[in-house]
Amino acid sequence: MSNPSTSSSSSTPAAGGASDVGNHSSAAVETFDAVDVIRTKRDRGVLSAAQIDWVIDAYTRGAVAEEQMSALAMAIFLNGMDRSEISRWTAAMIASGERMDFSSLSRPTSDKHSTGGVGDKITLPLAPLVAAYGVAVPQLSGRGLGHTGGTLDKLESIPGWRAGLSNNAMLQQLENVGAVICAAGSGLAPADKKLYALRDVTSTVEAIPLIASSIMSKKIAEGTGSLVLDVKVGSGAFMKSAADARELARTMVDLGTDAGVTTVALLTDMSTPLGLTAGNAIEVQESIDVLAGGGPADVVELTVALAREMLHAAGRTGVDPAQGLQDGSAMDVWRRMIRAQGGDPNAALPVARESEVVRADTSGVLTRLDALAVGVAAWRLGAGRARKEDPVQAGAGVVLHAKPGDHVRAGDPLMTLHTDTPERFARATEALKGAWSVQDDAAYEPMPIVIDRIA
């Protein structure tokens, strides 16, 4: 990347007595006292821009103790933040690290972020599809934790493919191929990385201001010209209710707008798994099926809907991205993208050594298939991890044979479980107890994939 710059907090030490900042032993004079900042938010006050700049910078460099930031995070969780506070908090986290610059590219940039779900392999066909229409897609992705799958884990099931790229290699691939899916560097919003780990152990993860600023600080620092957010809602999503998902989406759209990034959000259903697979290699294969003009209808529908938003935000109007899945242009970009990162697009994908079929016990219409239960089953089979350092099995996961609205008979296979370690089957099937409903001659009204659009 063209010399990403590193910014620091705009606050400067003020004259006066040194404050008590926990275990900080430096003789440096601090601009604020952490206790006063905590008290302001505890008492439902509004943090000033200078307070926010200081507390993020001071926490990043260790001048605010972990227990003090824990208290502030809990105060934010309980009392919230207004738009100006969230915007400044996000800007301060961006300023803690580097900002990437894509201005040298010959094409506009657009990115997508999903809040995570079960079977959510959309990034894989989406990035090459959008790139096929002349838009650069710098997709910085992560790994899975718990029941939600990670894009990098999926792609690493392709022999030879590597997630780590230098900034210069990323820039070159965007210019030559048009799409890159890779790991985010440690230089983007380091304050967020430190704060996220703290939130994870202090039960403050669910605070919408902190969720929104965490996501958007990295996406804005990434330097994309436009951003489309896929905010999931339902049992398999982080946001269980449409009201909470809509609040998160609106907050993130506002943050992008305040930062000068064209931003739009789609609320999409995650009560049922996306597509027919939840795992790593099996989701890659399903993505390849979509790129070849086939694949499950819901995956195709959401891929095309998000592609339309990304293309429109990047100024590419009057094109139909559905055509790119049919004429092979998206597949061509996919193959070049995989090769550029050391992968072999022609290689056979890993297959789990063991499998077990779960069958319907009654006949009728499948009216419910719980996304969370399927995600937990895939996780327990080895497709996911409980801790970030845990390994994953490339071939593990769940393949669905029926989706809500389908007619099934007693004894028909509903899903097949895959793993290299058969002792995992018992806990996976336990997670699936009560995960589906079959009703005799029931009328089924499907939930739309795209529930709402916020711009």
Over range 426-449, report the average pLDDT: 92
| pLDDT of amino acid 146 | 66
Mean pLDDT value across the chain: 91
Contacts 24+ apart (CB under 8 A), 293-301: 293/325, 293/326, 293/328, 295/125, 298/274, 298/403, 298/449, 299/121, 299/122, 299/125, 299/274, 299/275, 300/325, 301/449, 301/450
| pLDDT of amino acid 446 | 87
| Total count of residues recorded for the chain | 455
- The percentage of the chain sitting over the pLDDT mark of 70, rounded to a whole number, equals 93
| pLDDT of amino acid 82 | 96
| pLDDT of amino acid 313 | 96
The whole-angstrom separation of Cα 437 and Cα 370 is: 9
| pLDDT of amino acid 444 | 86
For the cut 50, the answer to whether the pLDDT of residue 101 exceeds it is yes
CA 24 to each of CA 20, 61, 202: distance values in angstroms, whole numbers, following the listed order: 8, 10, 21
Domains of the chain: 5-98 (1.20.970.10), 101-188+220-340 (3.40.1030.10), 354-439 (3.90.1170.30)
Over range 57-72, report the average pLDDT: 96
Minimum mean pLDDT among 57-61, 141-145, 162-166: which range? Answer: 141-145
Q: Verify whether residue 99 is a known catalytic residue.
A: no
The whole-angstrom separation of Cα 408 and Cα 390 is: 37
Minimum mean pLDDT among 116-130, 237-251, 441-455: which range? Answer: 441-455
| pLDDT of amino acid 3 | 39
- Cβ-contact 237, 255 below 8 angstroms: no
For residue range 9-28, list pLDDT tens digits in order. 333 333 233 334 444 444 46
Over range 139-167, report the average pLDDT: 88
Choice among 88, 112, 121, 199 that is catalytic:
199
Minimum mean pLDDT among 139-148, 319-328, 411-420: which range? Answer: 139-148
Over range 345-352, report the average pLDDT: 97
The whole-angstrom separation of Cα 250 and Cα 24 is: 38
For the cut 70, the answer to whether the pLDDT of residue 55 exceeds it is yes
- At 1, the pLDDT band (50, 70, 90 cuts) reads very low
Give the residue with greater pLDDT, 386 vs 65.
65
For the cut 60, the answer to whether the pLDDT of residue 324 exceeds it is yes
Q: Verify whether residue 218 is a known catalytic residue.
A: yes
Choice among 214, 217, 226, 235 that is catalytic:
214
| pLDDT of amino acid 34 | 95
Over range 255-268, report the average pLDDT: 96
CA 206 to each of CA 76, 77, 442: distance values in angstroms, whole numbers, following the listed order: 11, 8, 36
Choice among 57, 111, 192, 370 that is catalytic:
192
- The percentage of the chain sitting over the pLDDT mark of 90, rounded to a whole number, equals 84
Four-CA torsion 359, 361, 363, 367, nearest 10 degrees:
-80
Q: Verify whether residue 433 is a known catalytic residue.
A: no
For residue range 102-137, list pLDDT tens digits in order. 999 999 999 999 998 999 999 999 999 999 999 999
For residue range 361-370, list pLDDT tens digits in order. 999 999 999 9
How many Cβ atoms are within 10 Å of 289's Cβ, its own excluded?
18
| pLDDT of amino acid 13 | 32
The whole-angstrom separation of Cα 250 and Cα 258 is: 12
Choice among 24, 41, 112, 113 that is catalytic:
113
- At 260, the pLDDT band (50, 70, 90 cuts) reads very high
Please give the single-letter amino acid code of residue 285. Answer: Q
For the cut 90, the answer to whether the pLDDT of residue 250 exceeds it is yes
